[in-house]
Amino acid sequence: MISPVLESAVSTQQNLGKTGVLIVNLGTPDSPNTPDVRKYLREFLMDGRVIDIPYLQRFMLVNLIIAPFRAPKSAKVYKELWLPEGSPLKIYGESVEKLLQESLGEKYVVKLAMRYQNPSIEVGLAAFQKMGLTEIVVVPFFPQYASASTGSVYEEVMRILAKWQVMPQLRFVNQFVKHPKFIEGFVQNAKKYIAKHEYDFFLFSYHGLPERQILKGDVTQKVCQLGECCGSLHAMNQHCYRAQCFETTRLLVKALNIPEGKYMTSFQSRLGKTPWVQPYTDDVIKELPGKGIKSVLAFSPAFVSDCLETTIEVGEEYKELFEESGGKHWQLVESLNDSPIWIETLVDLVKNA
């Protein structure tokens, strides 16, 4: 019988030369029940990069106001979204983990992690440590860089690795706004709907951020004006989330040959009363029918996996708002999910990180 020590040594020997790939999405409650949703909201919103206010204020806001009152409402929405197998975001993540492992081959070990809840980043990294891997590639599933998303993943990974005696070689994917296959994935999905219906307008809706977070990201304090400065992506604003969103729109518009005046970039999911990046998606939608726009194809290119913010918010709630305002036809273009072109994108990102 092989001793545990010898078995571990054999396992480590077999893993020599392999690269760990940690794919990280935002996260999801363990169930759509209120206690699990509340737990998820507390972990998510207590992140100082998500709600960037002093700790005591954040603690009071999240634990005494947001989590107690928002959790029951959010739980109802999650129940609409939930599938028999579980959360769509996690289901797609597990499928991508399997497909990416098959595509990368035996020289790589792929693990799915969530920034909040399960499977955790710590558990994924611990598995790599146990295997004796000395090189790790971290791929946050956020096309555009933001401190509250990709930056938070960086911080959590480094917090955990700081405790390791042997530090691995570490590579991060910062963003993939301009990756041709990422753009082509949304183009392919959109063309299915364009072939069946003629659309008056194309709306590109991205997750919002407080304006203060965008401004804090301008380390020069000279570039960001939350306006025309996002008209192009260049060396001085390359880390600006808003500018990256507008760049994603420009690339999709070019690939789909959408005429000027037939599209707009907007931002959704704002929270609280402080100014968030604009224009706001719900405000834009209310105005469209009054301009004679009756048919809209909507994109949500800040997400690579369909989730509450795409399927429910953009796909259902905004559809209802559009129709109430006088619109006739609203269609959401689905995310990349576990499509072959998304797996191809990831393979390229991993190998060229």
| Residue 330, SS3 per DSSP | strand
Find how far residue 137's CA is from the centre of its chain.
17
The 8-class DSSP code of residue 230 comes to: G
What pTM does this model have? 0.93
Mean pLDDT along residues 202-206: 98
Q: How confident is the model at residue 227 (pLDDT cuts 50, 70, 90)?
A: confident
Question: Which architecture characterizes domain 4-175+341-351 according to CATH?
Answer: 3-Layer(aba) Sandwich (3.40)
Query: Measured between alpha carbons, how far is 303 from 337 in angstroms, rounded to an integer?
Result: 9
Q: Please, which contacts does 83-89 make with residues 24 or more away whose CB atoms are closer than 8 Å?
A: 87/28, 87/29, 87/307, 88/305, 88/306, 88/307, 88/311, 89/25, 89/26, 89/27, 89/28, 89/305, 89/306, 89/307
Which strand (E) or helix (H) includes residue 161? helix 152-161
Q: How confident is the model at residue 141 (pLDDT cuts 50, 70, 90)?
A: very high
The 8-class DSSP code of residue 233 comes to: -
Mean pLDDT along residues 243-268: 97
Query: Measured between alpha carbons, how far is 196 from 324 in angstroms, rounded to an integer?
Result: 24
* CATH 3.40.50.1400 domain position(s) in the chain: 4-175+341-351, 180-332
Fold of 180-332: Rossmann fold (3.40.50)
Q: How confident is the model at residue 5 (pLDDT cuts 50, 70, 90)?
A: very low
Q: How confident is the model at residue 13 (pLDDT cuts 50, 70, 90)?
A: low
* Residue 94 buriedness (CB in 10 A; 0-12 / 13-18 / 19+): middle
Residue range 275-333, pLDDT digits in tens: 999 999 999 999 999 999 999 999 999 999 999 999 999 999 999 999 999 999 999 99
Q: What pLDDT shows up at residue 313?
A: 97
